[in-house]
Amino acid sequence: MSRRGFVKSASVAGLLTSVMPFGAASLARAQTPGNTGAPGIRTVIRGGTILSMDPAVGDFERADILIEGSKILEIAPQIEAGDAIVVEAQGKIVIPGFIDTHHHLYETALRATLPDAILRDDGQPENSLNYINFVLAQVGPKYTAEDVMINDLFGSLSQLDAGVTTVQDISQIHFTPDHTDAAFEAFARSGQRVSVGYFSGTPEGARRAAKAYGSSGEGLRNLTMGGDMYLPDFRENWALARELGLRIAAHVVGSDSTRDRMKAFADEGVFGPDAVLIHMTGMTDAIWDAVHNSGARVSLSVPIEMTMRHGMPPIQKMLDLGMKPSLSTDVETTMTADLFSQMRGAMTLQRAFANEAVIEGRKTPEEVRLLTARDVLEFATIVGATALGMDHKTGSLTPGKEADIVLLDAEAINTAPLNNAAGSVVALMDRSNVDTVFVAGKLRKWQGQLLDADVPKLREELVASRDRLFAAAQVEMDMFR
């Protein structure tokens, strides 16, 4: 070997020596703790930076969380927990699980099929492949119960992987009782906390589902009744939901007919704190006042609303009324289903509105309020829990609540060094930082790996579902359209 070759080889060897110990350490994983979440089993999350999202509990630069069974027992700078299972959290930011108040999980096999499309056909030829025609009219009706199972399961696991411990699934596939059963079975397998929205079904089917799966919301899964304002049966659906003791979810996207229906509901005093109104674009001040005064909640999907021509997200309107939006991911046909994207979308849009008002002289700096990282983290956790009627058991790290907890890696290459906890979560992180996830005290993701899920096998089943749906709907695959 020449001297140059020797030096080159030695340099490479030295580089490998310097890199490999780091790689080996990063691959070394502690044994997965067993039996977490079981009655009487104690787990202590030790030494993390805690954002509790509960003013009464506060935040901690370094503290422990003690879990017993499914619930948080104690949060303190140092907890003596005896023989509890220990989860080391140094270098981690510990937050409540994210809460997605509006997502269509049955569409998982249709991911990125509509990256450039808008919501509906409004006469523009380049947008002829729109969401309502493609998903709701062409492909959606072809779903079998088996398709519902794999799409919901894979999508739910994907959200757990991203730290979303609770979701309201807007499930527009309740064509038969088997479809409904498949959705509930899928979520039971995933372990995510899910409010299953009953959309596109029958009154008889809704009654059966309410009887079979309950409406108390005390378990990990419960039922919500769909009552979209653009459908002719919206009144009957709202009345049926309240008869069955179910919460209500409804899409509200600005159009003359939707505004008329919302105005009628406003005049009649139909809105209430049991309803989550999704999007709320294009509504009048009178409608907004009625919604606000009723205690109804609003879910915004800011990136989707902006890209799919729903109308301008009404985030500033809500803030002006003293309302706080929950955040939701909507459709993976068009955009990713994680709350990091939603938090950044909401924060940057609102600040753009406010900053432009100052720059143009319409308002003084003292007259505007800029959303902060902590604000949008609140929207993605405790505000979402309140919207779904679950704030008594999730949405914050509070002793007595269910242990829906996420550990985020603050030492990763995209976040280190840790200088501001909420800022790191909102401004820097993505799903790759989600290290460990608990739902009701049970580990669902451990040190970067989903538990109890054969992802390669499930991916094959999802691809098969996609192929079957495309064939049934006569959709041609075009990878480069």
Sign of the four-CA dihedral 466, 471, 474, 476: positive
Question: Per-residue confidence at 477, pLDDT binned at 50, 70, 90?
Answer: confident
pLDDT of 21 over the 70 cut:
no
CA distances (Å), origin 117, targets 104, 231, 327, 333, 472: 17, 22, 22, 9, 22
pLDDT of 26 over the 70 cut:
no
pLDDT, position 80: 93
Which residue has 């409608």 as its token pair? 287
pLDDT, position 12: 33
129-167: pLDDT as tens digits: 899 999 999 999 999 999 999 999 999 999 999 999 999
Stretch 53-75: mean pLDDT: 98
Asked if 368 and 354 touch (Cβ cutoff 8 Å), the reply is yes
Question: Per-residue confidence at 5, pLDDT binned at 50, 70, 90?
Answer: very low
Q: Is the bond preceding 417 in cis, omega lying within 30 degrees of 0?
A: yes
pLDDT, position 29: 52
Closest CA to 376 of 51, 58, 91, 90: 51
pLDDT of 25 over the 70 cut:
no
Q: Which residues pair with 250 in a beta bridge?
A: 277
Show the CA angle centred on residue 325, arms to residues 322 and 329, nearest 5°: 170
Least confident of 23-37, 78-92, 312-326, 366-380: 23-37
Least confident of 14-23, 47-56, 106-115, 270-279: 14-23
Say how many residues make up the chain. 481
pLDDT of 407 over the 80 cut:
yes
Three-state DSSP class for residue 215: coil
pLDDT, position 217: 58
Asked if 174 and 199 touch (Cβ cutoff 8 Å), the reply is yes
439-449: pLDDT as tens digits: 999 999 999 99
Contacts (Cβ under 8 Å, ≥6 apart) of 462: 108, 109, 150, 151, 154
DSSP 330: B
357 vs 354: CA distance, rounded Å: 5
pLDDT, position 122: 83
Q: Checking DSSP bridges between strand 193-198 and strand 164-171, what pairing results, if any?
A: parallel
At 29, list the tokens: 């994983």
pLDDT, position 126: 62
CA distances (Å), origin 462, targets 105, 106, 150, 154: 12, 11, 6, 7
Least confident of 20-29, 131-140, 406-415, 429-438: 20-29
For the chain, report the end-to-end CA distance as a whole number of angstroms. 52
DSSP 34: P
Domains defined for the chain, CATH in brackets:
32-96+396-450 (2.30.40.10), 98-387 (3.20.20.140)
| Backbone angles phi and psi of 451, in degrees to 5 | -105, 150
348-365: pLDDT as tens digits: 999 999 999 999 999 999
Least confident of 42-46, 235-239, 319-323, 475-479: 475-479
CB-CB neighbours of 183 under 10 Å: 30
CB-CB neighbours of 319 under 10 Å: 17
Asked if 296 and 318 touch (Cβ cutoff 8 Å), the reply is no
Asked if 198 and 205 touch (Cβ cutoff 8 Å), the reply is yes
317-350: pLDDT as tens digits: 999 999 999 999 999 999 999 999 999 999 999 9
Asked if 353 and 435 touch (Cβ cutoff 8 Å), the reply is no
The amino acid sitting at 60 is: F
Give, for 6, the enclosing helix (H) or strand (E).
helix 3-27
195 vs 189: CA distance, rounded Å: 15
For the chain, give the mean pLDDT. 92
Least confident of 56-70, 222-236, 270-284, 393-407: 222-236
pLDDT of 382 over the 80 cut:
yes
